[in-house]
Structure 1
Amino acid sequence: MIFGGRKEEDETVVAMLASAIRRDISFGVLLPDQKLKIEALRQSYGGSNHSMRETLRVLAAEGLVEATSQRGFRVMSATQADLKDILLMRVETEKLGLSRALQRGDVAWEARVIAALHALRRAEAAVQASPDDVTALEWDEACRAVTEALLSACGSPRLIEVAGKFYNQSRRFRLALLREGRIDFIARAQRQERLQTAILARDESTALELLEDDIRADLGA
C-alpha cells in the first residue's frame, strides 16, 4: 500500500512536469532543437532527477522531445518538413476517426460535438478580444476538446491516442500562427458551423472534407 502510494505520487509529479514543459514547447519558450539539461530543467520546473528524466521520456514518446546520441535530450525540430509530415498524420488519423464516429456515434456523441464547438466559439471570441498567453492556452485547449469530441465515438482508444499525439506535435505551429495574427477566425467559424451541420446530417463526405480543410487551415497549409 505504501509503495503503491509512492508510485502514484511519482506519476502525478511526472504528469505535472510534462504538462508544464509541453506547454512551454508549444508556446516557444523552449525552442526547436534546444538542448534540455536535467539540472537546468529542475531549476525551472522542479522535480527530482528521476522524475525529470521520466518526464522527458514521456515527451519523447509523444514526439515533442528527442533523445540524442549523447544520452541527452533536445526539443524536437520544427521544420517545414516536420510540419508537412505532422499535417499528413493529423489529416489521416482524424479523418479515419471521424468516419468511424459518424458510423457509430449516437445522440450523446452529437451533443458532445455541439458542446465542444460552442465552447470553442466562446474561446475564439475571448482570444480575439484579449490575446494573451492565458486566452491562447484556453483557445488551444478548446481546439483540442473539439478534436477529442469528434473522435470520441470512433470505438478505437488507440486511434484516439495516436491522433492526440500528432495534435500535440502540431500545437506550436498553430500557436505561432495565432501569435502572428495569421488565423482567419471568421472563416474558421463558418467552416465549423458547416461541419456541425454535416455531422448532424451524417453527411460523411462533406464532414470529412471540412475536417481536412480545418486541419490544413489550422496549420497554415
Structure 2
Amino acid sequence: MIFSNNFDNATVVGLIASAIRRDISFGELSPDTRLKIEELRIRYGGSSHSLREALTLLSSQGLVEANAQRGFRVSSATEEDLKDIIQFRWEIEKLGLEWSLKNGDVKWQGKVIAASHVLSKAQERVIVSPIDAALEWDEANRAFHISLMGASDSPRLITTQAQLYDQSRRFILRALRENQLNFLSIAENQSHLVQAILNGDQEAALTCLRLDIEGNLAHVIKDN
C-alpha cells in the first residue's frame, strides 16, 4: 500500500485502519497476534505515527488491544468473546429495531427493503463464489443490520451497533470460509423479518432478528 503526498493524515490513517480491519476480519491477522509497527509498515505502508493512530482507532472499536508496556495485539477471539458479542449485539439491535418500529415511516421501510434486496443478491453470489464474494456479502449484511436501526434517531446506538458488528465479522467470515452457513435458512428468516417490519409486528420482527444474529454466529460456538 503506497500513499502519495495528496493524502492527508486522516485519510492515510483511515485507509490503514480499513486494511488492518479487513485482515483481522478475514483471519489474515490471527487473534492475539502481536502487531509490531515496523512489520506493519512493510505490510501496509504509512508512517509509524499513522500506524499507531490506526491501531488506536481499531482499539476503540474492540478489534485491537493496547498495552502501555507490550504495545498492540489483535484482540482475542474465544468462545466467551463470541457469546458476549452475540448477547450485546442482540440487546443493542433489539433496542434499535424497537425504536425504529415506533418512529419509522414508509421511507425507512423502503430503505430496509432495498438493503434486503442488495443482501439477497450478494448471498446468491457468495454461494457460488465464497472467497471472491465474501467481502461484498459481508458489507451487504452489515448494511442490512444498520438499516434496521435507521429510524431509531440515535446516532450513538447505530455507532455502537457498527462497532459490535465489526467485532463479530471474523467469526461470521470464519463460518463462511468453513462452509457452515445455511444461506437458505438465513435468507428465509430475513424475508420473514422484512415482512414483519412491513406488518408492524414487533414480536415477530424481534424473533427473526435474534435468529438472524444467531444464525450467523451461534454455530461457531458449537465448533470451538
TM-score range, shorter chain: over 0.9
Q: TM-score, normalised by structure 1?
A: 0.95
Given residue 159 of structure 2, which amino acid in structure 1 is its aligned partner? E
Match of 1:91 in 2: 90
Alpha-carbon distance in 1 for matches of 2:33, 2:118: 34
Match of 1:53 in 2: 52
Given residue 139 of structure 1, which amino acid in structure 2 is its aligned partner? W
Please give the per-residue CA displacement for 1:16-45, whole angstroms capped at 9, x wherever unaligned.
Answer: 011100000000000000000011001100
| Displacement of 1:210 | 0.6
Given residue 86 of structure 2, which amino acid in structure 1 is its aligned partner? L
Q: TM-score, normalised by structure 2?
A: 0.93
Q: Of 174, 178, 181, which residue of structure 1 is paired with 2:179?
A: 181
| Displacement of 1:68 | 2.2
Alpha-carbon distance in 2 for matches of 1:37, 1:190: 44
**Preserved contact between residue 65 and residue 76 of structure 1 (Cα < 8 Å):** yes
Match of 1:150 in 2: 148
Please give the per-residue CA displacement for 1:177-215, whole angstroms capped at 9, x wherever unaligned.
Answer: 000100001101110110011000010011011101110
**Preserved contact between residue 177 and residue 220 of structure 1 (Cα < 8 Å):** no
Match of 1:166 in 2: 164
Identity %: 53
Given residue 200 of structure 1, which amino acid in structure 2 is its aligned partner? L
| Displacement of 1:138 | 0.3
Moved over 2 A (4+): none
Match of 2:195 in 1: 197
Match of 2:139 in 1: 141
Alpha-carbon distance in 2 for matches of 1:198, 1:15: 37
- SS of 2:133's equivalent in the other structure is helix
- SS of 1:67's equivalent in the other structure is strand
| Displacement of 1:71 | 4.4
Please give the per-residue CA displacement for 1:91-133, whole angstroms capped at 9, x wherever unaligned.
Answer: 000010000000011111101100000000100000111121x
Aligned length: 214
- Consecutive unaligned residues in structure 2, runs of 5 or more: 220-224
Given residue 130 of structure 1, which amino acid in structure 2 is its aligned partner? S
Q: Does 2:208 align with 1:217?
A: no
Alpha-carbon distance in 2 for matches of 1:220, 1:85: 11
- SS of 2:30's equivalent in the other structure is coil
Alpha-carbon distance in 2 for matches of 1:173, 1:140: 11
- Consecutive unaligned residues in structure 1, runs of 5 or more: 1-5
| Displacement of 1:69 | 4.3
Alpha-carbon distance in 2 for matches of 1:135, 1:77: 26
